[in-house]
Structure 1
Amino acid sequence: MKVLKQNQYNQGVGKYKLLSSTSGVGSIITTKLGSYVLISDINKWRFIKWANSKIEIVRTNNTDDRKVYELSKSEISNRGIEFIDDQRFIKFIKSEKKLENLVCLIGIPHMALNESFNTPNWKNHPIRTALERTGEQFEGVSSHYMINGTHFPKWFKNGKGDLKKIGEWFSLWERECRSHPQTLKLDYFAPPRDAGHFIREMPSKNEDGNTITIREYKTLEQTNLILICPNGHLSDIPWANYLRWKTEKYLRIRKDDDNGEDLLSNEKVGPCCSNPKLKWTESKTKSEGYGSIYIECNSCGLGSGSDKDKPKINLEGINSLEPHCIGQKPWELDLDNPTIIPYENCFIRNDNNNGREKMRIALVTANNVYYTNGFSSLFIPMHIAENKPKELIDSINILEKKYTKHFERTAITRNDYWNTKFNFNDFLIDNDINPENEAVFKNQLESEFLSSANDIDINDKHEEYRWQEYRCFSTHSSLPNITENKGLRFKDIVLPNELTDFFKKIQQVEELKVTNVQLDFTRVKPKERIVVNGEVQESSSGQNIFSIDSKELYTLPANETLGEGLFFEFSNDKINSWVSENIGELENRFGKYLNAIPDSNSQGLSSKMKIYNNKYKHFLIHSFSHMMMRELEFSCGYPTASLKERLYISTNPEKQMSGVLIYTAEGSEGSMGGLVSQGEPEKILEIIKKGLERSITCSSDPLCWESEGQGIFDLNLSACFSCSLVAETACEEMNLGLDRRVLVDEEFGYFKSIQT
């Protein structure tokens, strides 16, 4: 298909990919045309901006958080946008990201593109229908529900090797449009074109079906080298500065150990001349890598090789560049005023001397350019998660808000506030709270309010969040499908006799909701979350996905998926007896992971610490999870990419967890009862037995069975792609911490007694 118009540059991206491990705010995606686009922050997404402004109005006119939530839900839902109802998750994000005014989460709209003009299928879109029903503008606003981005890198070259930033190429295009006003328009520039390379005039049709004549031009080629910073910043390579710096290095004007620290400073390096006209040439064979790419300036002659002061300059050694970072954040670029790149100060993390961080060269498509930090939430109703009546949760939230306002003025104690400022009856009337027994409710409210002053901050909020989910499954044999619990429904199965020693329970989860959000992102290295002696440490702070003040952010984009699953809770008594009976063999096999705390400077510290903290239980439950997913693939036709695991493993005495939830992933097969049906007592026993039998052999044996360490950081033992590993999207722990022998070994295997 010819690429001739602005709308041809629209790129289809699955909405689930936008919040995945590889895409999201700050990521660079490769378009189908081969160019690169940087995803803008969420405050450039028009539907987020609109929702934020609507919620701001609602908050201004209402002080009751419950009313704000319900009115926001109505405002957003009435306009066809998905409102994601998970208040437990919102409370967690508010605490985790310090977003004190966050109200709700909204779904990313699905905008399919038609094949004719590559524009959204808007005519019968549900959002358009909803807007029309509410009497709001619906014509020509389809782009408001699409994700915005900007070209990055900004450097493009034409067939002759002329190298310019996109702004300069667009200025040439504007001049060409003025010369051909009948057949050329500004929006025909995308994807970027060389106004100096006209190909032909040709007939075409517009969206109304009328025949028009348009001029076709050669497209430009985007460069693919950028600068990335460990603090998440991103910069273009200033090629005119690089040409001058490399020339001075070649002529020994600069020191041998100068790695371009001042490359991004026009005061200390600066461009080759006042009016650079750069030319990029490449050897046809490209046999020398970067050494076969040359750069020169046609204005000042630098890099031309015309004399000894202007030697030929190539890109050899460019990987050693380490310029000081100037904190640029081009994903926050104002798309209507793209000349000024937002920035912030950038220093080395945990450096008391505020040393400046250094950037490094990367290919646009390199893995280390982008690492997202996401979080997923399994919907659990608040009253079940916090194990309190709904009225009590609402009341304590309102009371805390009122007390905080008083405390800010007079620093009044909780006891004094309760005894002198608080009127219980007025409180119930003013806030429309109707408990069944007011006397009991008053005692509960008083106890909660006065004791909250002594609450100890939870060190590991992530563990607490998982504990709420685990406790919900563990303490309930079923969950009635009433209004408050809509989105979660499960029930215990009758355990087959052969499994009663090994599992406390197995549940069929007939209905569940999982919500995913992006919290932030990093570059160079992924953000690791390390728990040492109960204390949480993070390897980096990450870059936010929003650009406005955190107090003015009221909503975040999210993806909600519906599915079903199977929950397995292991018997802690059985695990303890299994460990004590086989302690010699287990120590001999896993001692290298568990006997000494991992080196704080080692790679993969997060995974190593999880294994160290969870001990033998980690290998046991994680290996069982993978065995089940693979067996469901063999026995029932589920590809592992259509399944996901949610591990509940903890040795914390107050939050002992020994379980796993296997559930269907977004957009996958088998979300209509297929997975739940495998949880019937007679079927689940057969699947477990077959999985254990299949785990005994591997096509890579005996190497795999006898392995003393394989996989990343050698964190797997008897586990490889042939026997234990699953699709990366299915595993929570990057396919690490696995060993099938812990399940089936004749000497120490947990399930050795039920093998067929």
Structure 2
Amino acid sequence: MKVLRQNQYNQGVGKYKLLSSTSGVGSIITTKLGSYVLISDINKWRFIKWANSKIEVIRTNNSDDRKVYELSKSEISNRGIEFIDDQRFIKFIKSEKKLENLVCLIGIPHMALNESFNTPNWKNHPIRTALERTGEQFEGVSSHYMINGTHFPKWFKNSDGELKLIKEWFAIWEKECRKYPDTLKLDNFSPPRDALSKKAFIREINSKNEDGNPIKIREYKTLEQTNLILICPNGHLSDVPWANYLRWKTEKYLRLRREEDKGENLMSNEMVGPCCSNPKLKWTESKTKSEGYGSIYIECNSCGLGSGSDKDKPKINLEGINSIEPYCIGQKPWELDLDNPTITPYENCYIRNDNKNGREKMRIALVTANNVYYANGFSSLFIPIYLAENKSKELIDALKIIEERYNKRNSTNPITKEDYWDKKIEDDFDEFLSDNGIVVTVDMENFKKQLKSEFLNVISETNVDKHEEYRWQEYRCFSQNSLINGLDDNKGLRFKDIKLPDELTDFFIKIQQVEELKVTNVQLDFTRVKPKERIVVNGAVQESSSGQNIFSIDSKELYTLPANETLGEGLFFEFSNEKIDSWVSGNINELENRFGKYLNTIPDSNSQGLSSKMKIYNNKYKHFLIHSFSHMMMRELEFSCGYPTASLKERLYISTNPEKQMSGLLIYTAEGSEGSMGGLVSQGEPEKILEIIKKGLERSINCSSDPLCWESEGQGIFDLNLSACFSCSLVAETACEEMNLGLDRRVLVDEDFGYFKSIQT
């Protein structure tokens, strides 16, 4: 039977894709029906809205953040929704996104669809079972655990070329339903259908209603969605105002507008306005389409503009539409109220870092173009917070409570930290501990001194690179611990050192088998036109754009975010800094000649790819060495244990910061990958790891593109790779943290300056 009902718009989208670099809130998904749907912000996702309201009640009734966290965990878990327990990550997001009241992260539910009616497979779903067990409604609420969206673009045309907004087509459909109440329903409008054209009606077909009784349904032709939109560097999104465009293009053609006018005021009804008070637009395409946009014509059947009927109404096509640059009006259609989609939310939009507050301009794009959407995500490797911060649990709890109380007091009655400690803590320290359930198992006086020191000397976050600090915590955990058994306190993390083969002891401090790990991914925000770049210059962090939030409510009212948690395994390598330093000093002339163009001059602040260029500039030769080794290992694992590189990911720990020296990497299994059951860890056995490294180095000597690749002086995007191409060094884009940039296999195996030249077979 033909697609006739609203549930046919239900479509499977992987939950990992929803938090990937190419999809998420604000992205446009192409459906199986060929139409385009814009994913709504998380506050339109009903399970997020529910969780947020539950946590708000818990916070209102409890002042202790530890109790709020535990009660939220119980409330959410009891209803079958995954509660992601990573307090280190929550602390980071609160600081990074200024979400001061964020409590927890919850997993995106997996909702499989039945093939028959495109409805959720709800009967045996664990969430349904959990709801039933708690005595809550469980019938008819499956849609609450699905992701919502709205049609975008809003313009649709029928087979006669009549062009209207979807709300206008729906109004026509409502009238048609009133004509045929027994055979036509409102939900038959999905996908959007034409009830205007004389040729729209196709036939009546036999079907069945919800009760299984036979009925007849009228079938109509479907509408075709346009595929041109306007995008803004600040993340805003707008439909092309076609009636305004028709008038503007006509006036340009008749030379009534300046030659340099690029449609800056196209979005303004006061400055341009529609072609007439009641536009009836028609879209006509040449059958050959040989002239591109020049073969698409637009006219108005009401006022005749664009019809070519006389010299004041010339034929108007879309030629040159790529050059229009209308001022952005700050629309955010992903925040539409789905139950009342009459007003598109908006905000003022100005050019970022422009002292004159100039208005930002939009540009035309195809819905499917790559520059329509760039998600800015962040992944966290689970590390227990006491291990990450290198402090006892009791100290962390006590410090958190004191800081919360101090900040609350300071917001109404400012006081120095020293005075607060003296007046509120010093003389009543035992009472403070007992009131908050803090049991100190070490020397009390030392604990008190340490707590006071931590409270009074908290480092200002303005001088800290939070991303580097976050990676440093992970690196330090691996570096300072030889064994973690995955006990209750650190469940989800288990690793151990291997005995290094003698031939590797000069090059590595340690290699670890990470038998169990958890990685959590969230989406922080998104941009359009250009990806958001994070640039570190002389220790100062700059961001190329601010990005659009994935939530629409006040940040102080946001208590939870959606996330994906994946389990896996991996191998951790810690390079010897001493060996790297001696290698650099012993081969400085060769390395200077080879990498000098990247390292001798700070990259131009206006150049493309500045983020990648600055990472290479900041981390020097170490970046090429560790990153190239990582790719060599991932490619070699394809041969040694059958992992395709798309099933692996790298996590680079590289820094030349004297206070946070990092020289390591983690290779781990990615979400949805095949084989997280010990296959990767087994390759870290001492007798295997040396063989894998040797074979990988041997393969790095030869490339099917040699000698061009070996002798290359720059290839890849921005010429940031040297001897590295798809044949020898590059891996799947999802596996690499640095977009396959900053690679050179010669730094590993060159017979003159290669880091590993002494252990090659």
TM-score category (smaller protein): over 0.9
> What is the distance in 2 between the residues matched to 1:409 and 1:172?
57
Structure 1 partner of 2:3: 3
Structure 1 partner of 2:642: 637
| Shift in Å, 1:655 | 0.4
Structure 2 partner of 1:450: 456
Q: Does the alignment pair 1:219 with 2:225? A: no
The 5 Å alignment of 1:457-536 reads: 457-536=462-541
- One-letter identity of the residue aligned with 1:732: E
CA distances 1:73-130 after superposition (whole Å, capped 9, x unpaired) = 0000000000000000000000000000000000000001110000100000000000
Structure 2 partner of 1:203: 206
Structure 1 partner of 2:430: 425
Q: How many residues align?
A: 755
Structure 1 partner of 2:295: 292
- One-letter identity of the residue aligned with 1:641: A
> What is the distance in 2 between the residues matched to 1:206 and 1:605?
59
Structure 1 partner of 2:738: 733
Structure 2 partner of 1:602: 607
| Shift in Å, 1:446 | 1.9
- One-letter identity of the residue aligned with 1:633: E
| Shift in Å, 1:441 | 2.1
Q: Does the alignment pair 1:79 with 2:79? A: yes
Structure 1 partner of 2:260: 257
CA distances 1:316-369 after superposition (whole Å, capped 9, x unpaired) = 000110001000000000111111000000011111111111100000000110
Instruction: Describe the SS at the equivalent of 1:193.
Output: coil
> What is the distance in 2 between the residues matched to 1:168 and 1:392?
62
Which of 294, 299, 302 is the equivalent residue of 2:305? Answer: 302
Q: Does the alignment pair 1:677 with 2:675? A: no
> What is the distance in 2 between the residues matched to 1:378 and 1:575?
26
Structure 1 partner of 2:672: 667
- One-letter identity of the residue aligned with 2:677: M
Instruction: Describe the SS at the equivalent of 2:194.
Output: strand
The 5 Å alignment of 1:61-460 reads: 61-196=61-196, 197-422=200-425, 423-437=428-442, 438-452=444-458, 455=460, 457-460=462-465
- One-letter identity of the residue aligned with 1:369: V
Structure 2 partner of 1:21: 21
My pick for the range that moved more, 187-196 or 372-381, is: 187-196
- One-letter identity of the residue aligned with 2:250: T
> What is the distance in 2 between the residues matched to 1:556 and 1:620?
37
| Shift in Å, 1:256 | 0.8
Instruction: Describe the SS at the equivalent of 2:660.
Output: coil
Give percent identity, aligned residues only: 86
- One-letter identity of the residue aligned with 1:670: G
Structure 1, gaps ≥5 residues long: none
| Shift in Å, 1:207 | 4.9
| Shift in Å, 1:210 | 3.5
> What is the distance in 2 between the residues matched to 1:712 and 1:462?
24
- One-letter identity of the residue aligned with 1:49: K
- One-letter identity of the residue aligned with 2:350: F
- One-letter identity of the residue aligned with 1:521: F
| Shift in Å, 1:400 | 1.1
- One-letter identity of the residue aligned with 1:731: C
Structure 1 partner of 2:711: 706
Q: Provide the aligned C-alpha RMSD in A.
A: 1.0
Instruction: Describe the SS at the equivalent of 2:410.
Output: helix
CA contact 1:19–1:516 (8 Å) conserved in 2: yes
CA contact 1:325–1:358 (8 Å) conserved in 2: yes
| Shift in Å, 1:393 | 0.2
> What is the distance in 2 between the residues matched to 1:258 and 1:446?
64
Instruction: Describe the SS at the equivalent of 2:176.
Output: helix
Q: Does the alignment pair 1:547 with 2:552? A: yes
CA distances 1:482-510 after superposition (whole Å, capped 9, x unpaired) = 21100100000000011111100000000
- One-letter identity of the residue aligned with 1:340: I
> What is the distance in 2 between the residues matched to 1:458 and 1:131?
47
> What is the distance in 2 between the residues matched to 1:336 and 1:163?
24
| Shift in Å, 1:203 | 1.1
Structure 1 partner of 2:622: 617
Q: Does the alignment pair 1:56 with 2:56? A: yes
Structure 1 partner of 2:753: 748
- One-letter identity of the residue aligned with 1:292: S
> What is the distance in 1 between the residues matched to 2:724 and 2:211?
59
| Shift in Å, 1:29 | 0.8
Instruction: Describe the SS at the equivalent of 2:457.
Output: helix
- One-letter identity of the residue aligned with 2:331: Q
CA contact 1:112–1:120 (8 Å) conserved in 2: yes
Instruction: Describe the SS at the equivalent of 1:654.
Output: helix
| Shift in Å, 1:680 | 0.2
CA contact 1:474–1:569 (8 Å) conserved in 2: yes
| Shift in Å, 1:11 | 1.4
| Shift in Å, 1:412 | 2.4
Instruction: Describe the SS at the equivalent of 2:264.
Output: coil
> What is the distance in 2 between the residues matched to 1:19 and 1:40?
13
> What is the distance in 2 between the residues matched to 1:451 and 1:632?
46
| Shift in Å, 1:451 | 2.3
| Shift in Å, 1:208 | 4.6
> What is the distance in 2 between the residues matched to 1:633 and 1:213?
57
Instruction: Describe the SS at the equivalent of 1:616.
Output: helix
Structure 1 partner of 2:47: 47
> What is the distance in 2 between the residues matched to 1:368 and 1:87?
34
| Shift in Å, 1:456 | 6.2
| Shift in Å, 1:406 | 2.8
- One-letter identity of the residue aligned with 2:707: P
The 1:600–1:633 alpha-carbon spacing in structure 2 relative to 1, beyond 3 Å, is same
> What is the distance in 1 between the residues matched to 2:578 and 2:130?
55
> What is the distance in 2 between the residues matched to 1:199 and 1:52?
47
> What is the distance in 1 between the residues matched to 2:293 and 2:716?
32
| Shift in Å, 1:9 | 1.1
> What is the distance in 2 between the residues matched to 1:139 and 1:225?
40
> What is the distance in 2 between the residues matched to 1:730 and 1:2?
41
> What is the distance in 1 between the residues matched to 2:655 and 2:550?
31
CA contact 1:117–1:207 (8 Å) conserved in 2: no
- One-letter identity of the residue aligned with 1:578: W
> What is the distance in 1 between the residues matched to 2:406 and 2:167?
55
CA contact 1:199–1:218 (8 Å) conserved in 2: yes
| Shift in Å, 1:405 | 2.7
